[in-house]
Amino acid sequence: MDSASLKGKKIAILATDGFEQAELMEPRKALDEAGATTVVISPKDGEIKGWKSKDWGDSVKVDKAVADANPNDYDALVLPGGVINPDHLRMDAAVVNFVKQFAATGKTTAAVCHGPWTLLEVGVLKGRTVTSWPSLKTDLKNAGATWVDQEVVIDGQFIFSRNPDDLPAFNRAIIESVSKGVQQRAA
């Protein structure tokens, strides 16, 4: 993909402590390399700490508090997984409001691993085909989604992947979707 294909695009990565390190860092790197500007948004200021395998990982600087973020300022939203991260995010009213408003824009919304929990909380998965970490299968089906075991699932504006092993395909799907834009993707 052309290294400038996302030039001028601004991508929100919404996370808090306990995000799966690879699921934030690898998409961020791929999007930055494609020319996008990535912005880490969180309910807390300062830094958030990643989870790497079975212990705490590296910290990442928070660029903007979710309370100060406007969903209309971004061309895409990435929701990393990890068990701790989305469980906390879906319990935060400001996060739920941000994600609900963002999803309503029709722009690329990508979630990996446990990331779909936040979308489940927002109520946008009914009738969608999704994938995730296998333990979310019943939750997603109960929310009205059709769960499939695939590397990447694209359903309209939504992109889903199962785990860190799927990140190369997940990243490619996000870059392609954002480069097409809302109108082309809907066609």
DSSP 72-132: GG-SEEEE---SHHHHHHTT-HHHHHHHHHHHHTT-EEEEETTTHHHHHHHT--TT-EE--
User: In this structure, what token pair is assigned to residue 134?
Assistant: 């296998």
What is the structure's pLDDT at 185? Answer: 47
- Degrees, nearest 5: CA angle 98-28-62: 55
Does 112 qualify as catalytic in the annotation?
no
Annotation: CATH topology of 10-182: Rossmann fold (3.40.50)
Kindly report the backbone phi and psi dihedral angles of residue 29, in degrees, each rounded to the nearest multiple of 5, phi listed first.
Answer: -60, -45
The answer to whether 27 touches 171, Cβ cutoff 8 Å, is: yes
pLDDT tens per residue, range 34-92: 999 999 999 999 999 999 988 999 999 999 999 999 999 999 999 999 999 999 999 99
pLDDT tens per residue, range 116-128: 999 999 999 999 9
Does 113 qualify as catalytic in the annotation?
yes
Q: Which of 15, 78, 103, 113 is catalytic?
A: 113
pTM over 0.85: yes
What is the structure's pLDDT at 5? Answer: 86
User: Across residues 83-112, what is the average pLDDT?
Assistant: 97
Q: Which of 88, 114, 128, 162 is catalytic?
A: 114
User: Across residues 153-159, what is the average pLDDT?
Assistant: 97
For the chain, the domains span 10-182
